[in-house]
Every structure is written in C-alpha cells, then in structure tokens.
Amino acid sequence: MPKKYKNLINGRWADASSKETIESSNPANDSDIVGIVPSSGKKDIDAAVDAARKAFNSWRLVPAPKRGEIIFKAAEALVKRKAELGKLVTKEMGKVLKEGLGDVQEAIDMAYFMAGEGRRLSGETVPSELSNKDCKSIRVPKGVFGLITPWNFPTAIPAWKIFPALISGNTVVFKPSSYTPVSATVLVDIINSAGLPPGVLNLVHGLGEATGEYLASHKGLDGVSFTGSSSVGAKLASICALSGTEITCEMGGKNPIIIMHDADLSLALEGALWAAFGTTGQRCTAASRIIVHEKVYNKFLALFTAKAKKLRLGDGLKPTTDVGPLINEGQMQRVLRYIDIGKKEGARLMCGGKRAAGGALKKGFFIEPTVFADVAPSMRIAKEEIFGPVVSVIKVKSLKEAIDTANGTDYGLSSSIYTRDVNASAVAERDLNSGIVYINAPTIGAEIQLPFGGIKKSGLGHKEAGGRGGALDTFTTWKVVYRDFSGSLQKAQIED
C-alpha cells in the first residue's frame, strides 16, 4: 500500500479534517502511487494560520543567530539525506536523477546561505546631522507568510522561500503543489525536526484552486510568496489586492538564446540542448526560443536537430535516460496542443512532435523532444509559454534584430547570448529586457547568492533567493530608528 502522509499544524502531524485525500503518482508510470496526502479544506488552513500567528510573537524574539543555528542543522540533515530525497524528487516529479539531486542541492545551498544571514541581516548606520544623536535602519519580520510553490522544483523552490522567511523571524503556512506533495512533506519534516518550535512551520496539502486561493486570501496572513504560472500569479495578486496583503510572484518565461555568427557553435549547441530539454522543458527559465544569425542558421539547425533526435526518453531513475516525462496527462495534452498549433501556423517540424508511448514508455507522459524551424516571432509557439520539450528556432539578420526578437514577448525572466565579440555581449547585457542575462551560457543555472526573478509577466514584487534585492526584501520590512541622547529637544532641519 502507498504510504500516507499528513499535514503539519502547530507541530503535530494530522489528516485533513474532511479525511479526504490526494494521490501522488510517478509520471513515468502513472500506476505507481508515490504517496497519499490530505486534501485540506478551509478549517485546516484556518488552524494552520492560527498556529503560525500564535507562534510568531515568540519566534520573532528568538535571536537571529539562534534561528540560524536551527537552519544550519536542517542543512546538515539535508546533506545526509540528499541521495534519498533526490531519488524521491525524480520518482515524483519525473526529472532525471542528476537533476533530482541538483534540486536537493539547491535546498542545501539555500539553507547554508540563510543560516549565515542569522549573523548578518544587515541594515545601515549613518551619521546624524545633529549632535548626540544616531540613526540606523534595521530589518524586522513581517509576520505570517503563506508560501505557495509549484511541482517542477519540489524541494529547491520551497527552500528558497522557507529558509529566508524563517531566518527573518516570520512564521509560515506552506502549501506545496498537489502534484509533488510527498517530496515537500519530507523536506518539511527535515526542517521541522531541526528544532523549530511548534507553529513556526506549518504544512497544508490541497488542490490549488481551493486550498491555494483560500490561503492567499486569508486575513491572518501578512504576506504571500508564490511561484507558478503567470495566469495563476495574476489571479492571486488580484485576490491579495482586495485584502491588502503583500504578494511576491515568480512566474513564467519565454526565454531566448541568441546565437551570433561568431559564436562557438559547439558550446552554443550544448547550452541550447541543456536549456531546452533539461527537466523536459518544465522550467520557468527553459530556453524555448533559439534566435540564430542567418550566417550560421542552417548549420546550427542541422546540428541541433540531430542532437535532439538522439536524446533518450525514459524513467529518470535509469542512468541511460536523458529526458524524463512531463508531470501529468493534463500537461502532456497542453504541450501536444501547442505542437498542433505550431504545425498549423506553418512552422517547419524538424523532429519530435508526438507522444512517445512504446514499450516501457506506455504508462508515462512522454513527448519526443520537438524542434520547429523557420518560426516567425509573431507565431503563438514563439510568444506563449508551453512548458515542455518544444523549441522554436528563429532566423535573424543582425544583433539588433536578435535583441528586438528576444524582447518581443510578454515575458522577461532569463535570456542568453553566445558570441565572441565583447562589444556585442556588452550591448546584449544592456539591452536584453529580462531579469537574468547569461553570456556564453544557457538560460538556466542561476546561483542562490544573487536575486532570481523577472520582469513583465515573469515577476511581481521582490525577487527570490539571496543578495541585495533578493528574498530578504520579501520577508522583512525596514524600520528606521533615531536615538537622541542629548538630553534636550533637537529639531532636525529647523534653525533656532
């Protein structure tokens, strides 16, 4: 029988009050049930928010270095269980094992980074214009946060939110994706077991439209952090606007790689393959557009198509697998619809374009790596996020046209250029309209010590991860303190 998991509310593991459940299955074999989790309702969310609210007043007063010590213990525990959790991520989400392990490594990196922030959380001390007076700014926690995360990085993205929230002194109600709830539960168990007081970290499972929206609208929250699609992010932002709750959204992308005529084609080829088909294209930073200078277009297209045809589909736990399944039937059908749209729009199908369901693949949600050539920037497949192993290759005549094409969507998360021309790379760095720019590297591979996020429909509010402008700005607010120790009334800007 599949293992049953529970919600964590006020330090206790519990079923949903309704006793209803959700099954999580292996996308490489949908008859393989990974686990069963509660399908929570309003009563469960209310209890979790109430627990977090009660815990906040004491948790915010725990010295930040002490909070950091707990997070450090969680990091050490994650290191010890990396292999176990990486295999679970692969089994539940479908990505190949090396990516499943990388997913966990990101959580580890973030835990260590944020544990260190317990002895920083730095503000600013500046001189006063008056004698015997000092001035400073300090970070203070905002309160209770609702964290809502997607299925494609079931440990990394929750860690991006949970650890910054906790080190800042906030308490948390975490709602993971209902497609990868088991990985999230194990992560929460590891973090909670590091020594968190009851109610500081709460976990509530459930379906997005019911549980997620109710959590985002809850009057007991002080903030919401969401990662997912742009359409859901926009809906949650409107919900939070009505209640006056601050929200940060990290959303979708339609990320371009520009390949100029002077690029190292072998390097660009490997980068494009990794960015396009890594995680089966199910990354917000996946490269779904390859914009190629006309002088090398035909050569690159032939090499790229030949490489894509050789990628091996299969269960991510098998060492021979290059590309795993899509997350579920619904996502697979969405990708197939976009492939049909591309054909009808007149794009030239170079390879793939259909479901792979022979032999060991018949019980999973596999689509062949798909390459469209001669794609016009105005086509839907070049403008809309597909979130699957589908790539549009676009021909351009100049750097300016390449950058204009790259910028010509509603998204602005990640972009890349391959060129040996230092001046061209400088222009691209300046003019590419995205939150992240890579030079001679693919659109995936961000590091946790710098902010992560995009503009336009790719992002709303503060960024994720570390560095100036990163997640600590989501989970803290600034308090300015003026201390006058003169013993007399002094009036700033007023002359006696």
* Active centre residues (catalytic): 250, 284
DSSP H or E run through 257: strand 255-259
Mark residue 115 as left, alpha or beta (left: phi above 0; alpha: psi -120 to 50; beta: remaining). Answer: alpha
Contact by Cβ (8 Å): 388, 283: no
Q: Give the span between the Cα atoms of 496 and 491, in whole angstroms.
A: 9
Neighbours of 156 (CB within 10 A): 21
The CA distance from 105 to 45, in Å, is: 30
Q: Are strands 411-412 and 455-456 parallel, antiparallel or unpaired?
A: antiparallel
Main-chain dihedrals φ then ψ at residue 225, nearest 5 degrees: -125, 125
Task: Give the single-character DSSP code of 151.
Answer: S
**Among 184, 196, 189, residue whose Cα is nearest residue 151:** 184
Q: Return left, alpha or beta for 46; rule: phi > 0 is left, psi -120 to 50 is alpha, else beta.
A: alpha
What span, in angstroms and rounded, lies between the C-alpha atoms of 470 and 475? Answer: 10
Residue owning tokens 């049930």: 33
The answer to whether 53 and 220 have CB atoms below 8 angstroms apart is: yes
Q: What does the buried/exposed string (b/e) look like for 459-480 if buried means 16 or more CB atoms within 10 Å of the residue's CB?
A: bbbbbbbbbeebbbbbbbbeee
